[in-house]
Amino acid sequence: MSAYFVLPDFLPALPEIFLLGMALVVLLISIGQKPIHRTLAFYLTQLTLLFVFVLVVGGSRTEAVYTFANMFVRDLFADFLKAMVCFSVMMTLAYSRRYLAERTAIPVGEYCALSLFATLGMMAMISANHFLPLYLGLEILSLSLYALTALNRSNAAASEAAMKYFVLGALASGFLLYGMSLIYGMTGSLNISEIAILVEYWKQNSEVMDSLPLVFGLVFIVAGLGFKMGAVPFHMWLPDVYHGAPTAATLFIAAAPKLAAFAMLARLLLGALFPLLPDWQPMLMLLAVLSMGLGNIVAVAQHNIKRMLAYSAISHMGFVLLALCSGLGTGEDPLTTMQLAYGSALFYLVAYVLATLAIFGLIMMLSRAGFESDRLEDFKGLNQRSPWLAALMMLLMLSLAGIPILVGFFAKFAVLTAVVLVGHYWLAVLAVMFSLIGAFYYLRVVKLMYFDEAPANAPPIEASVPIRILFSVNSLAILLIGIFPQTVTVICTYVADSLLFRIPLF
């Protein structure tokens, strides 16, 4: 080995490398058109994800490990989010199986391969310690998602949604890239850890060096992040994509990428641009309030449950952003408040992802070939058709509405505690008022299921027993974590710590 070239340590990136290899294998298998190929691709994908999950969890270390010339970082934060991503993709695939099998227009093999590539993109984003892998991961994810949306290519709505998603997503990537290049221009580095130090230096010498160009770059980065998270006013793509995409793809878009977007936000704003916190916090606050307001109000007017959930997702992302902008207030010890804020944001995300998986899972369980079951009225009288499924769906809806004793309540509780801790009382009051509006449309679903009569010709629910069990376990987890939230809150705090302690300021 020559002295000029040192082989990087591949071990921290082992899950990603394995995932990439398997994604290529699945892609090869998906060329085959026989049913056996489809089944093989599906199970291989699930096994791959399971194995990646094991690799991520098993190889997890408390200390952060850097590799590839500090471009790649593996810390607890990354491991936790990667494990969550793998888990939610596995759940997504399990719920989607029958849905995809019934719709012959959608190629299952491609769906699996694209899912794996999207997962790879997300994992790259989560572990990025450099703008380049961050952006590459984002693009791998985004391109896979555009393709997933358009997978049912004979469907006009899906094609339109994919087109919209592509154009707006490309615009967002452009924003992000422009912001990154401005930051690069100012600091001369693309490495996140280095940028943090350089920006801090810049801030400390603010009388000599004007930080305005940095803030200019920051604005573009926040706008790009807003797009990817689906925060108002960058939310326009979300309802159309949720609505137009096949439900299997909607579920994919609704769950795991939110985790990745959160990781990206944490890496960029907290990792690189932490010294600019006084600048980006008000921006996030504005995004949070607008998202909660618009998301909850517009969701009331929806007739399609996928569209309603899209607006609901906007409002929930608002709540996550609310937690993020509550770090660092007046008087309190900054580390304590940030711990609480980021821990609660993570907890909120976990609660949201769990509920979202189950809800879309149920929508797909109720659908059949030629029947999407995505209008609100399709849920009429579900209590008469299946009391058990209706009861679980009620738990999910109430969890999203934030009613105790479900996990959604403790998620909101944690976020509001963080907000009140830094003294933003008016923000807390606004947040609960918007939750009240939100409660209305979640309750309407309960109303449809319980108070209304089922249509006379409603066919029996076809879902298989394993999927029913999976759905039950998933939904009961919402209740159980709600009753015993201690463990998950502690894990989330711990994970948030691993992120915060690496900020040079602390």
Partner 1 sequence: MASYPLLSLAIWIPILTGLLVLATGALCKSWQPRGLALFGALLAFAVTLPLYIGFDVTSAAMQFEEFVPWIQRFNVAYRLGVDGISVWFIILNSLITMLVVLAGWKIERQAAQYHAAFLIMSGLMNGIFSALDGVLFYVFFEASLVPLYLIIGIWGGPNRVYAAIKFFLYTLLGSLLFLVALLYLFIQSGGSFDLLSWRALPLSLTEQSWIFFAFLLSFAVKVPMFPVHTWLPDAHVEAPTGGSVILAAIALKLGAYGFLRFSLPITPDASVAFSGLMIALSLIAVVYIGLVALAQTDMKKLVAYSSIAHMGFVTLGFFLFLEMSVEGALVQMISHGFVSAAMFLCIGVMYDRMHSRQIADYGGVVNTMPKFAVLFMLFSMANAGLPGTSGFVGEFKVILAAMQSNFWIAVAAASTLIFSASYTLWMYKRVIFGAVANERVQALCDISRREFLILTLLALCVLGMGVYPMPFVEVMHVSVQELLAHVALGKL
Q: Which residues are at the interface with partner 1 (CB under 8 A)?
A: 383, 387-388, 398, 403-405, 409-410, 413-414, 416-417, 420-421, 425, 428-429, 432-433, 435-436, 439-440, 443-444, 446-447, 450-451, 485-486, 489-490, 493
Does residue 17 sit in helix, strand or coil?
helix
Q: How far is the CB of 391 from partner 1 (least distance, A)?
A: 8
70 DSSP 8-state letter: T
Distance between CA atoms of residues 253 and 65, nearest Å = 29
Minimum distance of partner 1 from residue 482's CB (angstroms): 9
Cβ–Cβ under 8 Å, residues 295 and 227: no
Residue closer to partner 1 (CB basis): 167 or 436: 436
Strand, helix or coil for residue 375: strand
CB of 266 vs partner 1, minimal distance in Å: 20
End-to-end CA distance of the chain, in Å?
39
Which uninterrupted H or E stretch holds 399? helix 387-401
Q: How far is the CB of 328 from partner 1 (least distance, A)?
A: 15
Strands 65-67 and 72-74 come out as antiparallel
Task: Choose between 342 and 409: whose C-beta lies nearer to partner 1.
Answer: 409
Residue 436 CB, nearest distance to partner 1 (Å)? Answer: 6
Q: Token pair for residue 167?
A: 């154009």
Compute the least distance from the CB of residue 267 to partner 1, in Å: 25
Smallest separation, CB 218 to partner 1 (Å): 30
Confirm if 254 and 317 have CB atoms less than 8 A apart.
no
Q: How far apart are CA 320 and CA 352, in angstroms?
A: 10
The first and second tokens of residue 283, run together, are 């921006």
Question: Looking at the chain, how many residues does it have?
Answer: 506
Which CB, 252 or 434, lies closer to partner 1?
434
- Nearest residue (CB) to partner 1, 51 versus 413: 413
**What is the rounded CA–CA span in Å between residue 427 and residue 319?**
11
How far, in Å, CA of 350 to CA of 347, rounded?
A: 5
CA quadruple 462, 466, 471, 475: dihedral sign? positive
Nearest distance from C-beta of residue 439 to partner 1, angstroms? 6
In the bound state with partner 1, the residue whose beta carbon lies nearer, of 204 and 486, is: 486
Handedness of CA 264, 270, 276, 280 (dihedral sign): positive
Q: Output 37 or 447, the one with its CB closest to partner 1.
A: 447
Nearer to partner 1, 59 or 423 (CB): 423
Nearer to partner 1, 30 or 326 (CB): 326
The smaller minimum CB distance to partner 1, of residues 340 and 467, is found at 340
Distance in angstroms (rounded) separating the CA atoms of residues 355 and 349: 10
Which CB sits closer to partner 1, 63 or 453?
A: 453
Q: Which is nearer to partner 1, 22 or 418 (CB)?
A: 418
State the greatest distance between any 2 C-alpha atoms of the chain, in Å, as a whole number.
78
The SS3 of residue 72 is strand
Q: Closest approach of Cβ 430 to partner 1, in Å?
A: 10
* Distance of closest approach, residue 398 Cβ to partner 1, in angstroms: 7
| DSSP string of 121-140, one letter each residue | HHHHHHHB-BHHHHHHHHHH
User: Nearest distance from residue 401's CB to partner 1, in Å?
Assistant: 9
CB neighbours of 354 closer than 8 A, spacing ≥ 6? 407, 474, 477, 478, 481
SS3 assignment, position 67: strand
Query: Residue 65, SS3?
Result: strand
In the chain, the amino acid numbered 80 is F
DSSP secondary-structure letter at 329? Answer: -
Is 464 or 486 the residue whose CB approaches partner 1 more closely? 486
CA distance 199 to 206: 10
For the bound state, the minimum distance from the C-beta of residue 358 to partner 1, rounded and expressed in Å, comes to 18
Residue 203, both tokens: 């801030």
